[in-house]
Amino acid sequence: MVPLAGAAIVIGAGAACGAWALMKLIALATNLFWFGRLSAAPADIAAADVGLAVVAIPVIGSLIIGLMARFGSEKIRGHGIPEAIEAILYGESRLSLKVAVLKPLSSAISIGSGGPFGAEGPIIMTGGAIGSLFAQCFELSAAERKTLLVAGAAAGMTGIFGTPLAAILLAIEVLLFEWKPRSFVPVVVAVLVSLGLRPWLLGAGPVFPFPATTIGIETSGIAVGLGLIVGLEATLLSSLLYRIEDVFHRLPVHWMWWPAIGAVVVGLGGLIDAHVLGAGYASIQALLDGSLAARVVVALLVVKGVVWLVALGSGTSGGVLAPLLILGGALGALIGQFLPGPSGFWAMVGMAAIMSGAMRAPLAGALFAVELTGHFHALPATIAASAAAYAVSVLIMPRSILTEKIARRGRHILQEYTVDPLDFLQAEQLMTPDPVTLPGDMPIGAVVGFFADRATHRSYPVVDPSGRLLGLVSRAEALRWQVEGHPIDVSLAEALSDPSQPFAHRHSPIGDVADIMVETGIGRIPIIDEENGKVVGILSRHDLLKVRSARKHAELDRS
């Protein structure tokens, strides 16, 4: 853990610099595409006056991305988080330098040319690539590489949004697939380093501050209702996204051209309302400020939803979080017109709910919304809405918007964390007590006859007169003795080829016994008493399956 925490310092700094570089690249691309100038200063696409070129510019950017994906790396397609998850679970947490370079570049071109995406997905992939590449410079295990990959991803998210708690929880809920000090501590270290560098790179304070709000005791109950509605929105968006993706897969053209086809819809959406183009951070701020009329919010909700779904379904490069915040915030703001308090407060609650419902990250969603705005007093409301949206999502959708993409490649991912029963059950709880044993002074001839006539198992413990373990004799050994013509009067104890028989104690964790089976290839492990060394039981591979049966019984059987 300590060496990984030390490495996380370097990775956190690298991810923070990567976040700064990505934001500068997006600003540079935006200025080039929409204003024809070479500048990395922040620019608002809505302020550009390009006429009908608003349709052509997203298409040009998407053509560039298609070429980069075709001749560079196909892994730059999509929004980054599913690709990071797939690398963690199925790619031994190895990401290439090509992805580390092309992913932020392609995302900057996509967002800068009007793609309705955010920077969070690309920076998670880029920060993860920084961590993975650093880990690949040293002799580390796949689990250690995973830790550093996730540390880079969380640090990158912190660098963009300044939300350390949400980044840590997103790492735990979505990326790590474990809760261990070995992984948790390095992630925290990387996030804190990134947070410390952020004021010098991207500025300090909440990204989307808005006026403080006084909320009453009834707010959490209302937030539950809003969360239920936004949860339905999240499931609808996820369903529509993959239906649109299926449509693109049926097109009789190479996937390289799909982003450009989707960009036509993006450009048409830009003709209706230019605010739907780009990351839309200004729209998020306007929703929180409550400065948008209801009809404008409706237009933003519908048009942004359409262009984002089509663009993402086409397989271009960009993130999902900022569009989700806009769509959840817009629905929250609309419903907030009829609720107590300003609509901006309910927009914030809607943002928390949709992140929870779509990404299956309820704790990260609740904290992300309050960290973005600085309104920590609203945490009870965001937690209530996040839990409600999460419940709706789990009940309706089999998978999240992130894992559905991976499932379509034939890989099902379970995001429920439980304690492994093998780690807390003990050997005496599963073993077969008082097993049949063979005495060490038993002649070889009798042993061969025993296996030929009476044996029901493949192997048996061999004990001395006091019941202490001498070794394990197997049916294969008895057959070998018979074939090779061993003297039948030789004792079993003398004939044992490997007297150093692995064993476990009564109170040994089942997981340790399973490890012994894996390391030795022996399927029946004798269990001995710690005090007198006598054999008191036997634990087989079949007994390990009883753990799953008992767990299923505890989950489903009611009495």
In order, the DSSP letters of 111-147 are HHTT-S-BSHHHHHHHHHHHHHHHHHTS---HHHHHH
CB atoms within 10 A of CB 356: 34
- Written as six digits, the tokens of 91 are 């790619």
- Determine the Cα–Cα distance for residues 390 and 396; give it in Å rounded to an integer: 10
- Written as six digits, the tokens of 242 are 């993959």
Indicate the class that CATH gives domain 421-552.
alpha beta
Q: Considering only CA atoms, which of 412, 378, 386, 418 is closest in space to residue 398? A: 412
- Determine the Cα–Cα distance for residues 132 and 149; give it in Å rounded to an integer: 5
Q: Considering only CA atoms, which of 352, 356, 357, 386 is closest in space to residue 370? A: 352
In order, the DSSP letters of 27-72 are HHHHIIIII-----S---GGG---TTHHHHHHHHHHHHHHHHHHHT
Tell which phi-psi region holds residue 436, choosing left (phi > 0), alpha (psi between -120 and 50) or beta. beta
CB 363 within 8 A of CB 385: no
- Determine the Cα–Cα distance for residues 1 and 396; give it in Å rounded to an integer: 39
Helices of type H across 377-522 = 379-396, 403-407, 427-430, 444-453, 475-484, 492-495, 510-520
- Written as six digits, the tokens of 230 are 């936004």
Domain boundaries, the chain: 2-407, 421-552
Quote the pLDDT of residue 417: 66
CB 204 within 8 A of CB 198: yes
Helices of type H across 72-119 = 81-90, 97-112
DSSP reduced 3-state for 498: coil
CB atoms within 10 A of CB 545: 11
- Determine the Cα–Cα distance for residues 155 and 161; give it in Å rounded to an integer: 10
Q: With 0.85 as the threshold, say if the pTM is over it.
A: no
Quote the pLDDT of residue 334: 92
CATH T-level assignment (fold) for domain 2-407 = Clc chloride channel (1.10.3080)
Identify the burial level of 232 via C-beta atoms within 10 angstroms of its C-beta, where 0-12 means exposed, 13-18 middle and 19 or more buried: middle
In order, the DSSP letters of 177-192 are -S--HHHHHHHHHHHH
Residues in the chain: 559
Quote the pLDDT of residue 484: 66
Q: Considering only CA atoms, which of 243, 264, 338 is closest in space to residue 294? A: 338
Quote the pLDDT of residue 13: 93
Query: pLDDT 10s digit of each residue in the chain, 559 long?
Result: 788 888 899 999 999 998 898 888 888 988 888 888 888 888 778 777 777 788 888 898 888 888 888 887 777 776 667 777 777 777 777 777 777 788 788 888 888 888 888 777 778 878 888 888 888 888 888 888 888 988 998 999 899 888 999 999 988 888 887 788 888 899 999 999 999 999 888 888 888 888 867 666 678 888 999 999 999 999 999 889 888 888 888 889 888 888 888 888 888 888 888 788 877 788 888 899 888 888 888 888 999 889 889 988 888 877 788 889 999 999 999 998 888 888 889 999 999 999 999 888 899 999 999 999 988 888 899 999 999 999 999 898 888 777 777 776 666 666 666 666 777 778 888 888 888 888 877 887 787 777 777 777 778 888 888 888 887 877 777 777 776 666 666 777 777 755 567 888 888 888 888 888 888 778 888 888 877 878 888 888 888 877 777 777 766 777 6
Domains 2-407 and 421-552 share a fold: no
- Written as six digits, the tokens of 207 are 């990204």
Quote the pLDDT of residue 55: 85
Q: Give the burial string for 244-282 (b: 16+ CB within 10 Å, else e).
A: bbeebeeeeeebbbbbbbbbbbbbbbbeebbbbbbbbbe
**Number of H-type helices and E-type strands within the chain:** 23, 7
User: Residue 489: phi, psi to the nearest 5?
Assistant: -95, 0
The end-to-end CA distance of the chain, in Å, is 44
Quote the pLDDT of residue 234: 92
CB atoms within 10 A of CB 410: 6
Sign of the torsion angle spanned by Cα atoms 112, 115, 121, 122: negative
Tell which phi-psi region holds residue 500, choosing left (phi > 0), alpha (psi between -120 and 50) or beta. beta
- Written as six digits, the tokens of 17 are 């610099």
